[in-house]
Chains A and B, each alone.
Chain A
């Protein structure tokens, strides 16, 4: 069973990306057994309603953030999903304040898994939020195999390059991709996120 952590700050486009990725996995790659594990902060799950409304079976974890307060529950939930559904992939949408590296470490240590991670960055807000959120945003990039600089179509070229340069300072190992999750993401990029293409 494969595992993908989808991280990124609030409003970065994680749900739109997951919808795009899931469509591609089902329609083009023939991967039909996918579970979306939804972790939202707040007592009302909003993104899970959107995903369910799009026809997906969604399991929610809403009592806290899966990288800290719910860390112990993640391996239990993953084991349960594996036993009950045995999917080919679990795609986990982390909360907008989660650290994907912590989630990966948890899965590696508790379940000896080899999870992959993608982190989304909002091209429109990165530069403005970076300073006030400097203890959160840069660290959310840790552990990502690919960083998607999302909503790149909504900013000018100068901003695109400034964001890319800024992100590259915090995420030296990950592949950086400018994209628009709503408009479409190159299939080859999606496959690299899944580790299916060298």
Chain B
């Protein structure tokens, strides 16, 4: 039966190309460790979305206020679907690979 591990978090790297490289490295390592542990990879699929700056502009008859907010880096989310693997093993592998570079991670 399949085992599904989901993870999401923020990768603090601000250069998107570098973030893509880091994500690729971590996912390849995740796949390698799954295979080494005897698991069969269905797929490991993550999306990285660059975060940026946002602004809120509020206006009254006497006032105008602009508030900038947002964060830099990338939001990363996705799943690893594997077969022939215990849940705890997959959880450990995900935390020790991709999870190690995400600042807010959950699995």
Contact = CB atoms under 8 A, between A and B. Distances in A.
A131 to B, nearest CB: 10
A42 B81 contact: yes
Nearest to A49: B47
Interface residues of A, number: 16
A68 B78 CA distance: 23
Interface string B28-50: 00000000000011110111000
Interface in A13-69: 41-44, 46-47, 49-50
Contacts of A47: 45
Interface in A129-152: 129, 132-133
Contacts of A132: 40, 83-84
Contact of A129 (B40, B45, B46, B81): B40
Contact of B81 (A10, A49, A50, A133): A10
A97 interface: yes
A46 B47 contact: yes
B47 A41 contact: no
Interface residues of B, number: 17
Contacts of A184: none
Specify the main secondary structure of chain A where it touches its partner: loop
Interface stretch (B1-9, B15-23, B55-63, B93-101): B1-9
Interface of B: 2, 4, 6, 8, 40-43, 45-47, 77-79, 81, 83-84
A93 B46 CA distance: 18
Nearest to A42: B79
Contacts of B47: 46, 49-50
Given A11-B43, A132-B83, 10 more contacts: A10-B43, A11-B42, A42-B79, A42-B81, A44-B8, A46-B47, A46-B78, A49-B47, A96-B42, A132-B84
A46 B46 contact: yes
B42 to A, nearest CB: 4
A96 B43 contact: yes
